[in-house]
């Protein structure tokens, strides 16, 4: 089976092998650094305990040598160990996300979350709808790989930044800047940052889709129903994000259907004309594609397309 997979998709196997190798390498590097730090801390502790027995003699020598003595290179400083909070052995990662970097398995989980973070952010913004609509446009015009995937992805990314700019600005004001100024804690910053993102997704989500996933999650709904305050503050992202994605796919396919209609009419006209002329061996797509491009350019199609995508969001 592996041999067949390697023969059919060699690039996929190579990428998987490289990713696995880098993950294992990073794991051993982190574990080695942690072990080295623990060994160094043990050495410092033993040296400190040995030096406590000679503290009185060292103090007398330091008094005799005067107050201008300085520490020599290689000397251990008698400073207390510092940690996160009240636990000297805790790490910053454990305080922020609950993952202790001293365990190899937790390091692998952390690296996996970092790798999935871009995909999670893309799924929580308008990127999916834009790239799907642009893909429908290219398929309707039958231009094969023109524009290429890199161009469509870049255009979708910058349109996403353009549409999401007010949301990002609000997140910066209510969460990031107070956190940088040490006015709120990390947990409070994450909670505050989720509110504008939830508000954006809820504006694009229908009540039916949201109610569908609320019923699937078997969440308890308050007596007053799902008010806006309840949705923004109490409803979890694990329920809002799937409902938002379903709504995005629905709207993207609806827009794709509307995009296909004018180009489908051109295909029908060209196909009927060729059949009436007896040119059945001539591919209709070869004749209709220049007319599609001409109609799209004359109608200022790119401005209409981008304007429709931006206007489809209830900002």
- 114-171 per-position pLDDT tens digit: 787 788 778 889 999 999 999 999 999 888 888 899 999 999 999 999 999 999 999 9
Q: Which residue has the higher pLDDT, 259 or 287?
A: 259
- The answer to whether residue 133 sits within a structural domain is yes
Is the pTM here over 0.85, yes or no? no
Decide which of 72, 99, 118 is a domain's last residue: 118
- The answer to whether residue 196 sits within a structural domain is yes
Tell me: do 113 and 185 sit in the same domain: no
138/151 Cα distance (integer angstroms): 12
- The answer to whether residue 59 sits within a structural domain is no
Tell me: do 178 and 103 sit in the same domain: no
Q: Which residue has the higher pLDDT, 221 or 82?
A: 221
The fraction of the chain above a pLDDT of 90, given in percent, is: 22
Average pLDDT over residues 195-208: 89
- pLDDT higher than threshold 90 for residue 195: no
Tell me: do 128 and 106 sit in the same domain: no
- The answer to whether residue 60 sits within a structural domain is no
Of the ranges 20-34, 68-82, 182-196, 268-282, which one carries the lowest mean pLDDT score? 68-82
Tell me: do 229 and 252 sit in the same domain: yes
101/78 Cα distance (integer angstroms): 26
- The answer to whether residue 53 sits within a structural domain is no
Q: Which residue has the higher pLDDT, 108 or 52?
A: 108
Closest alpha carbon to 222 in 209, 234, 237: 234
237/115 Cα distance (integer angstroms): 19
Tell me: do 180 and 111 sit in the same domain: no
Decide which of 83, 118, 153 is a domain's last residue: 118
Q: Print the domain residue range for 16.
A: 1-40+91-118
- The answer to whether residue 195 sits within a structural domain is yes
239/144 Cα distance (integer angstroms): 37
Domain count, the chain: 2
Tell me: do 114 and 207 sit in the same domain: no
pLDDT, position 176: 87
pLDDT, position 158: 92
pLDDT in tens, 93-109: 555 555 455 566 667 77
Tell me: do 34 and 132 sit in the same domain: no
- pLDDT higher than threshold 70 for residue 48: no
pLDDT, position 189: 86
Tell me: do 101 and 148 sit in the same domain: no
Average pLDDT, the chain: 76
pLDDT, position 107: 74
pLDDT, position 61: 45
Tell me: do 104 and 225 sit in the same domain: no
pLDDT, position 69: 47
Tell me: do 167 and 303 sit in the same domain: yes
Closest alpha carbon to 134 in 293, 309, 314, 315: 309
90/45 Cα distance (integer angstroms): 18
Tell me: do 188 and 296 sit in the same domain: yes
- Token reading at 269: 């006209």
- Token reading at 294: 């001409």
- The answer to whether residue 54 sits within a structural domain is no
Decide which of 100, 118, 136 is a domain's last residue: 118
Tell me: do 164 and 21 sit in the same domain: no
Contact 156, 134 (CB under 8 A): yes
pLDDT grade for 248, boundaries at 50, 70 and 90 = very high
- The answer to whether residue 279 sits within a structural domain is yes
């Amino acid at each position: 089976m592996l041999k067949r997979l390697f023969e059919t998709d060699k690039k996929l196997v190579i990428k998987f092998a490289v990713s696995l190798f880098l993950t294992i390498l990073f794991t051993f590097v982190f574990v080695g650094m942690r072990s080295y730090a623990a060994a160094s801390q043990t050495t410092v502790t033993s040296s400190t305990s040995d030096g406590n027995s000679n503290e009185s003699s060292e103090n007398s020598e330091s008094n005799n040598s005067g107050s201008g003595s300085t520490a020599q290179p290689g000397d251990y400083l008698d400073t207390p160990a510092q940690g996160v909070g009240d636990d000297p052995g805790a790490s910053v990662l454990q305080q922020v996300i609950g993952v202790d970097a001293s365990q190899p398995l937790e390091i692998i989980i952390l690296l996996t979350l970092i790798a999935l973070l871009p995909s999670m952010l893309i799924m929580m913004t308008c990127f999916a709808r834009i790239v799907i609509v642009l893909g429908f446009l290219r398929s309707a015009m039958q231009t094969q790989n023109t524009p290429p995937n890199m161009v469509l992805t870049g255009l979708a990314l910058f349109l996403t930044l353009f549409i999401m700019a007010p949301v990002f600005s609000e997140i910066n004001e209510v969460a990031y800047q107070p956190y940088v100024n040490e006015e709120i804690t990390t947990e409070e910053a994450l909670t505050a940052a989720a509110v504008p993102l939830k508000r954006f997704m809820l504006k694009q989500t229908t009540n039916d889709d949201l109610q569908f996933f609320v019923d699937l999650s078997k969440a308890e709904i308050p007596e007053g129903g799902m008010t806006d305050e309840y949705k923004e503050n109490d409803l979890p992202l694990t329920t809002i994000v799937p409902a938002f994605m379903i709504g995005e796919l629905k709207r993207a396919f609806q827009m794709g259907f509307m995009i296909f209609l004018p180009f489908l009419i051109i295909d029908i006209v060209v196909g009927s004309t060729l059949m009436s002329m007896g040119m059945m061996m001539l591919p209709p797509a070869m004749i209709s594609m220049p007319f599609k491009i001409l109609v799209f350019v004359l109608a200022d199609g790119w401005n209409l397309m981008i304007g429709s995508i931006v206007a489809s969001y209830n900002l």
